[in-house]
Structure formats: structure tokens, C-alpha cells
Structure 1
Amino acid sequence: MYTAKGTLDRDAQLQRYSPLVVRLAHHLMARLPASVQIDDLIQVGMIGLNEALSRFEPTQGVQFETFASQRIRGAMLDELRDGDWLSRSSRKQQKDIEAAVQRLEQRLQRVPRESEIAHELGLSLAEYQESLTRVRGTQLVYLEDLAGAGEDDQFLDRYLPADDSANPQTMLSDQRMRTALIEGINKLPEREQYVMSMYYEHDMNLKEIAAVLGVTESRVSQLHSQSIARLRARLREH
């Protein structure tokens, strides 16, 4: 898209690719606590898109959408890295849920129900579900789990290290861990399996998954957090 003077029409390009920014923001939101505002992510993402338009070189042999996606997501992560967006209380809640799941699985020798996890934590079902909403920022593997990173490290720095050999993605390539992960996903309750499949395999956001399942976005977020807690509890054994 060019202007009458033959220069790139930046406004037209920003408008054309703004849906990409929105899609990436919504997809990232499932991993963030409720305190993060989607509008803030979109605003930062638009800055990343503008930077991508300035730096893109067609001769590099990369499609613009691929190049822009990296810039947009990078801008969002940089913004999150600069803020303390996962509080210590949320981290503690997350670990408490994982520990409760692990205890119940060992005691019951099966996947515990949501109500059983709530009871183990001494919470009502509604209180437990609210906790799941608050710890929405759960990730599958942290460096603190596998490489001994300190508690005081920033959250994003723990799973986006400079050393590729310590990257969680590299660690997940270990066959023993991959096998445990596959087994864990297969043992998730059916609805949670659907959520994980739609989110990670089909790149659907919370709103899209909610429409398929006929539930609210908040409920999908809870199911996602609970699935990750179950998987992390299982991976702790490997």
C-alpha cells in the first residue's frame, strides 16, 4: 500500500495489521494475571507493529507477518518485563495449588476433581476458582524449577534466558520429560484437554475457546490455569 507519492502508506499498513496485534494480545492474555489490561497490551503491540514497518526488509526472505509477529510479541513482553505483573502472593497461590494437586494425586491415585482440590486447600469451590483466575500467569516450565534460578529474578527473565542451553523449550526436548508431559495431558479431564488443544495446537484465544465450549472467558482461563497446575505437579516428579 503506497501513497500517491509512491511512499509506503504507514497508516494503511497499521490499519491492515492491527487485527494481528489484537490476536497476539488476546493469546498472550491467557498467561497473564487479571491485573493486566488487554488495551495496554494492544497499545504496546501497535508500537511494535510500527517498529516492524520501519525495520522490515523484503530482501531478508521473511514474510512481513512473521517478522511483525516477533516484533509485536517482543514489545509486549518487554513491557511486561518492566513491570511486576505477577505478585509474590499470586506466585504463592500458584505453588499452593500445584502442591495440593500433587498431594491428592499421590493419595487418591487418580486425577483429583476441582471440588477436591478446593477442599484440600481449605477453600470453597468459588474461592478456589477465583484463585485460578488470579494466578492466570502460570507457565508450564520455569527456570527456577530446572536450573535453580533465584526467587528474586524477574518472572519473564526466568523463562526467556540468554543461554539457550538452559531454555525451558530445550529442557522440554528431553525425552523423559516429553513422555511425562504427554501422559499428563492425556490424563487431564476431558474439558481441560479440549482447552489445552485449542489454545496450544490450534492457536485459539480465550474468547474463541469460550464460544466453542459454551462457557465464559473467565471459566476458560480457570480451566487453563488448573490444567497447567496439574501438569506442573506431574512434571515435578520427573
Structure 2
Amino acid sequence: MHDVGQGLGAYHQTSEQSPQQLVEQHAPLVKKIALHLQARLPDSVQLDDLIQAGMIGLLEAAGKFESGKGASFETYAGIRIRGAIVDEIRRGDWVPRSVHRNARRISQAIKTIEDRTGRAAQDSEVAEELDMTPSEYSACLADANSGRLFSLDELNDSGDVPIDMETASDDPYRELSSDSFRRQLATEIEALPEREKLVLSLYYQEELNLREIGAVIGVGESRVSQIHSQAAMRLRARLVDW
């Protein structure tokens, strides 16, 4: 999986650029990340609010960037931009607590089934484990997807898989150095069911939106959203020790 800034070579900079030049050159990166995150948020979330929060992250990145640390500016800025937007979303508290509880229940059910069977849990098995009908389980997946910010960098107790900016905002390079976690994460992603793995690849590496992914794999946007949610919760279940 690529970091936020990978594949964004158009935003390349030299170490001689001033903070103002960095901000001017990388401003399109803010909108790109904001649009990508907005696709996974409730309709009530305004793009302008996300862009405004992201610009604050870009300004902070430009002021604090040290080229000698080894990370490119676009990678560093991508982390700061995404983190600033995540902070803004968390302050908004748009996702009900019941959604987080259901996400945790689904993750636990997946872990229980996979520990018992030694293979990937099927949708029908998870629904049965939770004493839900298939339609109820699909609805829970759809709800759990609302507001999910999935960066594949580290897990938290909400049931999501986001960047934890309480640590990353103070030292973004720490996140880049978490090699052991990334190796384990890559291993678990590789072991996902093929369709889940494909959806993650198309969303995070190819940066396609849900509609475009649906066209590739032949399903609707809502089903893509459900597949993404299940992949997120499956990874959370498998990485619970982290």
C-alpha cells in the first residue's frame, strides 16, 4: 500500500523552496485528499470545510518540513493534510456511537470465525454469528462505512483504521518508521479475499472513487462501500494485537 503522498510526483519540490512556495505548489494536493475522504463521509460534510482544514495541515507542514529527515515533502504534507482533516471530522462527531459499537461487534465476529475455521469468514457466517439476517448485516456494513477514515496506518478503538494524529501530528516521521506494523499489515492485506484486496488496491493505490471501482468489478457503489467496510473490519480483527 502506498502512503498518502505516493503517486503524486506532480507536486515534487526542491529543498530550496520557501514555505510559501511549498504551499502554493502543493495546494492541489489538499483538494485531492479532501475529495478522496469526502467520498466516504455523510452528505452533510461540506468539501469546503475539509479543504479549509487540509490547508491548515499544509501550512503546518510547510513551516515544519525538514528535507534532511528522508521523507519527501509530498509524503510529509499528505500525512499532515489528512491528519488535519481527520481532526476536523472527529470534532464534528458525525458518526453515532452505535455505528462504532456495531463495527466492533462485526470485527469480533470475524475474528471468532476465522480463529475457529482457519480461513476468511464469509458474509453469511458473520451474519449468523451476529444473529442477523443477510439484509441486516448489509445495513450494518453500510452504517459502519459512514465516516470511516481508512489510511491503513494504525488501528484505534473506534473500529476504524485511521491515522492517529494524537501521535502523528507531533512527529509524522514516527509513522513512516513503523516498519514492523507495515510489514504485518501488508501480509494481512495480501491474505484478504481477492475482491476485498482488489477494492483496497483500486481505492488506495489507484485512487479510484467508489463509482469507478464499481464499474471495474461489476457492482454498485453501495456494494463497493460494503466490501471496503468488511475489509477494514477484517484487518482490524486480524491486527488486534497491535
Q: TM-score range by the shorter chain?
A: 0.5 to 0.7
Name which of 115, 119, 123 aligns with 2:124.
115
CA distance in 2, matches of 1:18, 1:219: 33
Matched, 1:142 2:142: no
1:70–1:105 Cα change, 3 Å:
closer
Aligned partners of 1:171 and 1:121: how far apart in 2?
Answer: 37
Picking from 154, 171, 175, the partner of 1:169 is: 175
The 3 A distance-change label for structure 1 pair 207 and 235 is same
Give the letter aligned to residue 125 of structure 1.
P
Q: Which amino acid aligns with 1:44?
A: D
Counterpart of 2:213 in structure 1 is: 209
Q: Residue type of the partner of 2:127?
A: A
Partner of residue 183, structure 1: 187
Structure 1 position 237, deviation (Å): 4.0
Conserved? CA contact 1:21–1:46, under 8 Å: yes
* Alignment length (residue pairs): 206
Q: Considering only CA atoms, is the larger Rg found in Structure 1 or Structure 2?
A: 1
Structure 2 CA distance for partners of 1:157 and 1:198, relative to 1, 3 Å? closer
> Does the CA-based 8 Å contact 1:48-1:74 persist in structure 2?
no
User: Which residue of 100, 110, 126 maps to 2:109?
Assistant: 100
Structure 2 residues without counterparts, runs of 5 or longer: 1-25, 66-73
Give the match for residue 232 of structure 1: 236
The TM-score normalised by the length of structure 2 is 0.65
**TM-score, length-scaled by structure 1:** 0.66
Greater Cα offset, 134-143 or 210-219? 134-143
1:13-24 correspondence to structure 2 within 5 Å: 23-24=32-33
Whether the 8 Å contact between 1:192 and 1:224 is mirrored in structure 2 is yes
- Residue 198, structure 1, aligned to residue 198, structure 2: no
Counterpart CA distance in 2 for 1:105 and 1:50 is 42
